Structure 1
């Protein structure tokens, strides 16, 4: 939905009104949208257009049936309605600095600074480029095996530490494989190289999604689809589309999420030999999309189908390597999260708790991510002590992984804790938060 180039400013009287200030501080967008409508004449359809939200979503928020918690959505609201960043606990927005006081960046002088000296034992980059032209890469089955092994290692390290530090190496390897694809190879090697390129592009997209760099993530996911299409790997295309569906739920675009996962299911059904594990994973992604849309019956039906498919799994199934992560613990925790997205906290809490108990302790991001989901669920049930205890335990895992997605869930829990900030258990959590993650949560008190 295109937004106006110069959105209408909110009246100064509204921005300084105590009720608006308090609503923004609490990120109570039900109240914010009502005040904007009554005091600035900006109606729900206009709010939706300016903030890149669906009109139905804005209507649900105004009616008090839905909260807006994701940081990228809050940033869109700040920019679309011209609410200064500090009022919503955000950094200063770029539009807050008038053009008259913006200082254009000076262009560097013509004299080019000398490059840092290259160690004598290493050739310069230009020499590397020249020598690369004379190389005759001849990939073999062992080359493909080595590339796939490195991808498995990347995924393990991504689970443990996040993908920020891995991304340059993954992109470099992707470009290396793309270079190999420029020459004609024997069919089995060419087929394998396209598969490896698809995996590397998907991994790059995933690390960017985890870092909340959504546009770049989508570009790499699209590239992964193109590589998979070259070899007609419809199951892998379904996997990439499922990733894009999940990203859309984080962008608060549930319509896109449902469209992507439905396309993924179409690809999986058209593929030969798609296993029940793949169908089960896709059904739960469908449940996430329906839950984001607030469709209770459709969510429950998708959850039931996921469990029905999972019960059909056999040890002899030829599962693709990329779906191996979807085990019973993942089925249970994702079921809990789907219920949690619907607001069914009482159903969600025991499921997420059981799955956390069973989960692989090496997956630090997964532990942190699911722990904050559990803490938010417990908080919504009025279990303040348990929620703070769960969130405090999650801080250790969160501190060891570079993931904006995990940090976003921590921010959401911290914001939801606002009404209880003076309680001793909440103060203890904040103290631990300042100690372990002093700079990771925007708006949290400093040390």
Structure 2
């Protein structure tokens, strides 16, 4: 059988099949390749040639022995097999045609083709990207910045799992724009937006505890910022990587990364006290994870000193505005909590939790479980269980493996008190609200 030409699209019946749609959404390329072979007659050797892969690699993917995670490979698969970008969480590919978006006067409404293979997808970001047609202006950059602000808001409210395909698609779209000739201000602006999108993507993977993927995108964000000498944003990305290292129980790495972040901040022109305060608090986390009490207290003091120097007209970058007084207080409490200083930690976390915005579901759940743990350390079983019960509602509203991890840690710390009435009541509420979190745990 002769090999189809590279320009031949896959059958519409395959691209609209729910099985194919789900395989693409999950980026299960073993299943995608098997479907392409069975339904389009494109055999593994042809897949390899079309997608610039080795036949052995394609065979390993089909056999389930290898996964394809790198974005450049995913883009080659999209282009090689003519899988529309939106199906794989990518921006509209250059070969996709937008003509189906319009109906000529001679066509009746009944003649309008269905929204399938020729379209960029029905998500807002893809349609905006199509409408822009690569004719950029400062207002385009402002619109992209606004979408990033909205992504962060929705990430706080619901978690980043469902946002990630849209964020990655917009990232690839902006990276594509960077391949074209641009004026210096426009090029620098696009680099900054791409760096922010890459950091946000890394953050969604970090919050999902998928640390390898998170580091990949954080590294991409670092490179994009470095290309335009944005030392402040490089400091921001390194601070994220430091926080991830504390979660991976790699305190030495965490300390080295935050030190590098502070070096970048000092090298930048116009680094604000708020940025320095945030970085000092990340340093405190690293020292606390190492168990270094004196260094932790020194870093906490520096964070508060920098914060006290904040002026209303400081030119803070948008990515650090979240670090307000409430965040400073709760992070101080968490740093003390990491050291086992529950007496110092409890009132700080409780105070911040009272001030936490009600729409920040992840923050409220995250900090409430920290408070419950410190209360338990102080022997306040009833208060701890009551606090943890209050945390279940925001925890159920957000998709966050980090929050789930803190819930499991609190649940495990309740083991010695399983038969106490407060613990029994908490577990009953937990089974009602988040049954999957305790599905494998024995009842008291």
Bucket of the pairwise TM-score, normalised by the shorter protein: 0.7 to 0.9
Secondary structure at the aligned position of 2:149 is classed as: helix
Distance 1:384 1:266, change over 3 A: same
With over 3 angstroms needed to count, the CA separation of the structure-2 counterparts of 1:109 and 1:268, relative to structure 1, is closer
Q: 1:359 Cα deviation (Å)?
A: 1.3
CA distance in 2, matches of 1:272, 1:110: 53
**Among residues 145, 150, 162, which one is paired with 2:142 in the alignment?**
145
Contact persistence 1:411–1:442 (CA under 8 A): no
| Cross-structure match for 1:273 | 270
Which residue pairs with 1:222 in the alignment? 219
Deviates more, 1:204-213 or 1:357-366: 357-366
Distance 1:122 1:232, change over 3 A: farther
1:285 corresponds to which of 254, 265, 282: 282
Distance 1:441 1:403 in 2: 16
2:94 is matched with none
1:410–1:441 contact (8 Å) kept in structure 2? no
* Match among 31, 35, 38 for residue 112 of structure 1: 38
Q: Give the structure 2 partner of residue 125 of structure 1.
A: 117
Q: Does the CA-based 8 Å contact 2:330-2:349 persist in structure 1?
A: yes
1:430 maps to 2:437:
no
Q: How far apart are residue 263 of structure 1 and its match?
A: 0.2
Do structure 1's residue 309 and structure 2's residue 306 form an aligned pair? Answer: yes
Q: Is the 8 A contact 2:396 2:434 kept in 1?
A: yes
SS in structure 1 at match of 2:435:
coil
Structure-2 separation of matches of 1:371 and 1:319: 29
SS of the equivalent of 2:283 reads helix
Unmatched segments (≥5 aa) in structure 1: 1-104
Tell me, in whole angstroms, the C-alpha distance in 2 between the residues paired with 1:301 and 1:178. 41
Task: Call closer, same or farther: CA 1:149–1:446 in 2, change over 3 Å.
Answer: farther
**Is the contact between residue 194 and residue 231 of structure 1 (CA under 8 Å) also seen in structure 2?**
yes
- Does structure 1 conserve the Cα–Cα contact (< 8 Å) formed by 2:431 and 2:438? no
- What does 1:150-299 correspond to in 2, within 5 Å? 150-299=147-296
Equivalent-residue separation in structure 2 for 1:153 and 1:110 (angstroms): 37
Q: How far apart in 2 are the matches of 1:405 and 1:136?
A: 39
Do structure 1's residue 330 and structure 2's residue 327 form an aligned pair? yes
8 Å Cα contact 1:434-1:445 kept in structure 2: no
Displacement of 1:120 in angstroms is: 6.6
Once residues 339 and 271 of structure 2 are traced to their aligned partners in structure 1, the CA distance between those partners, rounded to angstroms, is 29
Cα displacement (A) at 1:258: 0.3
Distance 2:203 2:282 in 1: 15
User: Contact 2:369–2:407 at 8 Å: present in 1 too?
Assistant: yes
> What is the DSSP-based 3-state SS (H/G/I as helix, E as strand, rest coil) of the residue aligned with 2:298?
helix
Q: What is the aligned-residue RMSD (CA, Å)?
A: 2.5
2:405 counterpart of 1:408: yes
**What SS is found at the alignment partner of 2:229?**
coil
Give the distance between the partners of 1:128 and 1:332, measured in 2 at CA: 45
Q: What is the deviation of 1:442? A: 5.8
| Counterpart Cα distance in 1 of 2:135 and 2:226 | 24
Gaps of 5+ in 2: 1-30, 41-82, 84-99, 101-110, 122-128
Residue in 1 aligned with 2:96?
Answer: none
Q: What SS does structure 2 have at the residue aligned with 1:112?
A: helix
| Alpha-carbon separation, structure 2, partners of 1:374 and 1:305 | 24
Whole-angstrom CA distance in 2 between matches of 1:179 and 1:109: 29
- Does the Cα contact within 8 Å between 1:438 and 1:446 map onto a contact in 2? no
Q: Give the distance between the partners of 1:336 and 1:128, measured in 2 at CA.
A: 47
